[in-house]
Structure 1
Amino acid sequence: MTVTDFDFICQILRQRSGLVLGNDKAYLLESRLLPVARKYKLASFEDLVRLIRVKSDEAVIKDVVEAMTTNESFFFRDTKPFDQFKQIVLPTLMAARPNKQIRIWSAAASSGQECYSLAMILSEMAAQLSGWKIEILGTDLSTEILDRAREGIYSQFEAQRGLPINLLVKYFTQVGDRWQINQKIRSMVQYKEFNLLNDPRSLGKFDVVFCRNVLIYFDQPTKAKILNNIAGLMPNDGYLFLGGAETVLGITDKFQLLAGQRGVYGLTTGQAAPATKPAAPGALRA
């Protein structure tokens, strides 16, 4: 791989997805794009680059971007954010929403595990949520990964990764050597193709936004743009969840860390919920 070819693909990735790759990621670029080259009956990465340079085919470029976006996800990832959602965020919003409506956005939803984790929490709380309308929207720039999310079919490894056995038994059906989440849970989530670099106002307003383990792939200006866009979609008492390695410090002044919590943010112009004792470990498994 030449430096010129590497820089050319990196420029496309940055423009189309915001993904920033360092020079040490050349091996990753080549390994992920070789299957794309084979799809178009090309012999090498260099041939793929040449095709894009000559034809600038949008279908090929889209496949390249989708191949390079990370789709790592698993059920109840890191556990604590879901405890915080169940024990702090949801009760606070329920007390503040006389219209009994809440909207949740899972940005970069990947293959759906985050969305379905939230849906299972809501299903487990059906008695408390009687009469409520709670919408979950999952978005991703990859149409292929969203098709997987809609199917809700996971390998044995994916189904067991982070998922309590009681929820696997309750909400999944075994299909051959894989597991499919049931229609009731799937129907609680809507999926839509969306690129975080674009204007999100068409998606509507959200009380809760999960944008976890996404910002780490972007440069500072792109992080600021995305966070500021999210802030514009939220009411004053809305909540933002970021990944454990992510922060708003030095990026935007639109958000502040929720008092006594980690990874959960409210708008700086809003009323932050009081610190609440986190759920005991394993609370989601009860």
Structure 2
Amino acid sequence: MSSPDLSPYYFDLLAQFLRKESGIILKPETSYSVRFKLQPLARGWGFEGLNDLVEHIHRRRHNPEVVAALLNALTIKETSFFRDTKPFDVLRQRILPDLAAQRGTPDLKLWSAACSTGQEAVTLAILLQQVLPREHADRSVVVGTDVSEEALSRARKAVYSKLEVERGLSPELLRRFFEPVAGGYRASPALRRLIRYQSLNLVDTDFPMSQFDVVMCRNVLIYFDDKGKRGALDNIYRRMASDGYLFTGAGEDPQRLDSRFLRVLVDGLQCFRKAPG
């Protein structure tokens, strides 16, 4: 009978496969989390052990459905509305008004990279509704991208449980921007019209949209090795407006890996812009 555990050999095989398919790095210290995330997939596919599951994935590694199932299992990340509130305060109070004032037609484009189930993208849409005149907010766009089709499916439905909306949304925001539905609350039509979701790996180059005024890529680069980080940052750089802003996680430093980014402080918050020249 197969062991229910995941042996070092099969962990390494899985890590090699995931790195090739997505650029994401599985570190040995994440093995417990990986086991936990893979167990439902193993049960759903009828495997007694994780070694058998990984062997199956390896044999069918060219099957897009197998790849998608693995990415869905391993990459859906923790998220919430207005998570780590400071970046959104700075966007609302300084950056979005400044960008709008610099534009002849202040229609803004915002990108939520690795958007998971959509809370960050919805948060950005709320900010656009709060900051811009209605006609400009309605012509602006938020693009949410992720490698997980399962997460994107949930994001497109825009339905969140009572627990999820209570994490980050005030009663006033909930009343203004959401409507009660079976299973929780759904983002309003005005918000949903602003958001487009698209499957995308940050290290892929096939992404048609560009000239984003704000890019949110927080706590994402930590999952790549330096080569993957440089590839992702190059894609972000080429898709940022010349006066755009990049937000990353507190421990992520694009400037260390790509000198084309310049670290700036806005109201004490670190973010990044394109360096002059």
Spell out structure 1 runs of 4+ moving beyond 4 A: none
User: 1:53-96 CA distances to partner (integer Å, 9 max, x unpaired)?
Assistant: 33333312221122111421100011111111112211221122
2:48 partner letter: A
Residue number in structure 1 paired with 2:210: 204
TM-score (norm 2): 0.90
Distance 1:171 1:240 in 2: 26
Q: Which has the higher strand share?
A: 2
Choose the corresponding residue for 2:179, options 153, 173, 192: 173
**Residues 1:10 and 2:15 are matched in the alignment:** yes
Residue number in structure 2 paired with 1:265: 272
Distance 1:5 1:213 in 2: 27
Residue number in structure 1 paired with 2:200: 194
Identity of aligned residues (%): 36
Q: How does 1:60-209 map to 2 (within 5 A)?
A: 60-126=66-132, 128-131=133-136, 133-209=139-215
Q: Contact 1:236–1:269 at 8 Å: present in 2 too?
A: no
Q: Contact 1:5–1:49 at 8 Å: present in 2 too?
A: yes
Deviation at 1:173, TM superposition (A): 2.2
SS in 1 for 2:208: helix
Distance 1:187 1:137 in 2: 11
Q: Contact 1:200–1:229 at 8 Å: present in 2 too?
A: no
Structure 2, unpaired ranges of 5+: 1-5
TM-score (norm 1): 0.88
Deviation at 1:171, TM superposition (A): 1.7
Q: Contact 1:213–1:243 at 8 Å: present in 2 too?
A: yes
2:25 partner letter: V
SS in 2 for 1:130: helix
Q: How does 1:9-88 map to 2 (within 5 A)?
A: 9-56=14-61, 57-88=63-94
Q: Contact 2:38–2:73 at 8 Å: present in 1 too?
A: yes
Q: Contact 1:205–1:233 at 8 Å: present in 2 too?
A: yes
Deviation at 1:245, TM superposition (A): 2.4
Distance 2:113 2:206 in 1: 10
Distance 2:29 2:265 in 1: 38
Residue number in structure 2 paired with 1:222: 228
User: 1:193-218 CA distances to partner (integer Å, 9 max, x unpaired)?
Assistant: 11111015422321211111111211
Residue number in structure 2 paired with 1:245: 251
Distance 1:219 1:53 in 2: 22
2:11 partner letter: F
Deviates more, 1:83-92 or 1:174-183: 174-183
User: 1:226-267 CA distances to partner (integer Å, 9 max, x unpaired)?
Assistant: 112211112221111112222224211111122454232110
Distance 1:228 1:38 in 2: 39
2:184 partner letter: R
Q: Contact 1:33–1:68 at 8 Å: present in 2 too?
A: yes
2:98 partner letter: T
Residue number in structure 2 paired with 1:277: none
Structure 1, unpaired ranges of 5+: 271-286
Q: Contact 2:159–2:183 at 8 Å: present in 1 too?
A: no
Q: How many pairs are equivalent? A: 269
The Cα RMSD (Å) is: 1.8
Q: Contact 2:17–2:58 at 8 Å: present in 1 too?
A: no
Distance 1:125 1:236 in 2: 21
1:7 partner letter: D
Deviation at 1:14, TM superposition (A): 1.3
Deviation at 1:129, TM superposition (A): 4.9
SS in 2 for 1:21: coil
Distance 1:53 1:21 in 2: 16
Deviates more, 1:161-170 or 1:243-252: 243-252
Distance 1:176 1:236 in 2: 43
2:90 partner letter: Q
User: 1:169-197 CA distances to partner (integer Å, 9 max, x unpaired)?
Assistant: 22222224522222221111011111111
